[in-house]
Amino acid sequence: MDLGLRNRVAVVTASSRGLGRAVAEALAAEGARLALCSRDADAIRKTAEIIGDNYGVDVFAAPCDVTDPSAVEAFAGEALRRLGEVHILFANAGGPPPGIVQDFAPEDFRKALELNLLSTIGLVHAFMPAMKRLGWGRIIASTSITVKQPAPNLALSNVSRVGVVAYMKTLAGELASHNITCNTVAPGYILTDRVEGLIAGMMEKSKMAYEEARRSITAGIPAGRIGSPEEFGSLVAFLASERAAYITGETILIDGGAYRGLM
């Protein structure tokens, strides 16, 4: 299937590693040109260099903390100057720390909302005008299975991400007539540094060996395994493609069947 992504321009944030990087690679493999950012300038430049070399596409990279509105504005301005247009936005950020509600102060919830909800809103507002001018766009927000099913030790994630679903659903209705789709992806466990960190935390807290900690995660996943970043990248590349033009306002799980609800 030709995804029709050749020479499309895609902005992928929080992409020096993990899910963002996997999305950048999946889009580059389809011939998309990229604008990438993360906070660490060296890490994002190195990732951009590797992707540019491996896939032969233009990659613009700059440091940007997506929780900082002025940094987002500067990144968007520079990305548009360098690449001329923007067709696709994958709005992604880091995850808040694990823990239960009682571990956190109200200030921690405010920070989590800045990281996961307000960063998405800021990124959309920075790039949406360019898509409206083109009359074509794909906005994909990164959240988590926690928007469907709260996780016991991820209180900040449970609370800070659901607003993204409401925001994207609302936006989808407003932008459909501009030929811009707005969807949300909700991963379960995908093997990135963040999940390796969660496994390390379990090993320390419960005095488990690595394989035992991993098994305690996969026990809750009908597919019997943790997902790969490449599988996640493929889902986002499809949603970003010409082929997904009639899918909008959706929240799509990628979790090996871990979510137990009906809808």
The footprint of ligand NAP (CB under 6 A) covers 13-20, 38-40, 43, 65-67, 92-95, 142, 144, 187, 189-190, 192-195
Q: How far is the CB of 21 from ligand NAP (least distance, A)?
A: 7
Q: How far is the CB of 203 from ligand NAP (least distance, A)?
A: 17
Which lies closer to ligand NAP via its Cβ, residue 103 or residue 174?
A: 103
Distances (CA, A) of 183 to 168, 175, 191, 236: 6, 11, 22, 10
Q: How far is the CB of 55 from ligand NAP (least distance, A)?
A: 18
Which of 47, 258, 253, 9 lies closest to 130, judged by CA?
9
* Contact indicator for 190, 19 with CB cutoff of 8 Å: yes
Distance between CA atoms of 188 and 82, rounded to whole angstroms? Answer: 35
Q: How far is the CB of 154 from ligand NAP (least distance, A)?
A: 8
Which lies closer to ligand NAP via its Cβ, residue 127 or residue 189?
A: 189
Which lies closer to ligand NAP via its Cβ, residue 112 or residue 180?
A: 112
Is 243 strand, coil or helix?
A: helix
For strand 180-187 and strand 88-91, is the pairing parallel, antiparallel, or unpaired?
Answer: unpaired
* Contact indicator for 123, 13 with CB cutoff of 8 Å: yes
222: its two tokens = 């009908």
Phi-psi region of 207 (alpha: psi -120 to 50; beta: other; left: phi over 0): left
Which lies closer to ligand NAP via its Cβ, residue 6 or residue 110?
A: 110
Which lies closer to ligand NAP via its Cβ, residue 52 or residue 187?
A: 187
Q: How far is the CB of 263 from ligand NAP (least distance, A)?
A: 19
